Amino acid sequence: MSHILIIGAGVVGQATGKGFAQKGHEVSYVDVNLKTLAKLRDEGLPAMKMADVDWPKIDIVMLTVSTPTVDDNIVLDYIETAAADVGRGLAKTRHFIPVVVRSTVPPTTTEQRITPILERMSGKQAGVDFGVAMNPEFLRQVSSEQDFARPWITVLGCCDQRTFDLLKQLYMPFGALITQCTPTEAEIIKYVNNVYNAVKISYFNEVHAICKQLGADSNLVGAVVARSAESMWNPLYGTRGGVPYGGACLPKDTAAFMAFARQMGLEHLMLEATMQVNKTLEQKIAAVSSPDQIEAALATAHFYNQQEGYDEQENAYILEINTSGQSRAATYG
């Protein structure tokens, strides 16, 4: 059993801490908000200021501090301050502690901003003296503790194998599929996950406006599409990058529905953006008319899976999605 230090005892921090405590781990909380600390202590939980942490007793650190967006830009001051405090704490330890970023942060933040702070303040080397990981949280605020206890997926973006092995052991009892990737991939997964939900909601809201003007029941339309559209029942449909949509129906029906909405005096910005994105892609690679042709199209395009450092044979991912869109291997879970 590990002693886990949660830094930032808000919604995610408390759900994380309580979830690990239920699995038998010792959990302590740190926060800058004195009211939060008092509330946790009232619940009988060990909550303290950073200065009071007994660092030699800590096995794992989880950063769950706020990362608010102000004027459309993320504020990283809180997590950077917390990282500096953790770095000073690491200097007081002699054992290997994984530092896990659980806050939502823009891609590259963990490796390019948090890790250098930890190294500078501790005088130690990441991956050698301490570990660094990005492990995004997908819980919903309304059901935070239940969602943490029963995750759909666990994403472990780690720089070193030792950190991955430690975190894998920690998360195995939760029973979700574990995906191994880089910290940057983990950061991107979190954003793409949320933005995908946002895009879907926006699309159906525009559909709702069209239905309303026609006197049609948009909830019925949405519920039927949730069953009928391949992108709803086949989770990998449309998730492979680099191929514009084609075939007999998607280009003509998308254009016709947009024109129809315009004639009704309605804006359908999602459709306009969709058509624009496809047109731009089509300038790079021709649209294909069936999924069988995707492979050949991508091979001609020479830009899929060709990034420097990506080695398919090395199986960089535990959960690997192959290029024909099938789940190839789920080693853990």
Ligand X SMILES: NC(=O)c1ccc[n+]([C@@H]2O[C@H](COP(=O)([O-])OP(=O)(O)OC[C@H]3O[C@@H](n4cnc5c(N)ncnc54)[C@H](O)[C@@H]3O)[C@@H](O)[C@H]2O)c1
SS3 label, residue 181:
strand
The nearest distance, CB 177 to ligand X, in angstroms, is: 18
- 331 touches ligand X by CB under 6 A: no
User: Within a 10 A sphere around the Cβ of 87, how many other Cβ atoms?
Assistant: 22
> What are the counts of helices (DSSP H) followed by strands (DSSP E) for the chain?
13, 12
Stretch that binds ligand X, among 133-141, 204-212, 288-296, 301-309 (CB under 6 A): 133-141
What is the identity of the amino acid at 30?
V
- Per-residue contact flags (x/-) with ligand X for residues 74 to 93, judged by CB under 6 A: ----x--xx-----------
The only residue of 114, 139, 156, 166 in contact with ligand X, by rule CB under 6 A = 139
> Which listed residue (158, 159, 181, 249) is catalytic?
249
The nearest distance, CB 199 to ligand X, in angstroms, is: 18
Using N-to-C axis directions, what is the helix angle for 269-282 and 183-214, rounded to 10°?
A: 130
The nearest distance, CB 217 to ligand X, in angstroms, is: 31
The nearest distance, CB 302 to ligand X, in angstroms, is: 37
Which residue do the tokens 């191994």 mark?
Answer: 180
Residue closer to ligand X by CB (options 78, 245) is 78
SS3 label, residue 126:
strand
**91-110 residues near ligand X, rule: CB under 6 A:** 103-104
- 158 touches ligand X by CB under 6 A: no
Stretch that binds ligand X, among 58-66, 179-187, 211-219, 255-263 (CB under 6 A): 58-66
The contacts found for 28-35 with CB under 8 angstroms, 24 or more apart, are 28/3, 28/4, 28/53, 28/58, 29/5, 30/5, 30/6, 31/7, 33/9
Determine how β-strand 69-70 pairs with β-strand 60-63. unpaired
- 188 touches ligand X by CB under 6 A: no
Is there a contact between 163 and 98 (Cβ–Cβ < 8 Å)? yes
The only residue of 66, 109, 110, 163 in contact with ligand X, by rule CB under 6 A = 66
In what helix (H) or strand (E) does residue 220 lie, and over which residues does it extend? helix 218-228
Q: Which residue is nearest to ligand X (CB)?
A: 10
- Per-residue contact flags (x/-) with ligand X for residues 7 to 46, judged by CB under 6 A: xxxxxxx----------------xxxx--x----------
The nearest distance, CB 138 to ligand X, in angstroms, is: 6
Can 249 be counted among the known catalytic residues? yes
The nearest distance, CB 183 to ligand X, in angstroms, is: 15
Distance CA 207, CA 275 (A): 16
Using N-to-C axis directions, what is the helix angle for 250-263 and 269-282, rounded to 10°?
A: 140
Residues that bind ligand X (CB under 6 A): 7-13, 30-33, 36, 64-67, 78, 81-82, 103-104, 137, 139, 141
| Active site amino acids | 249
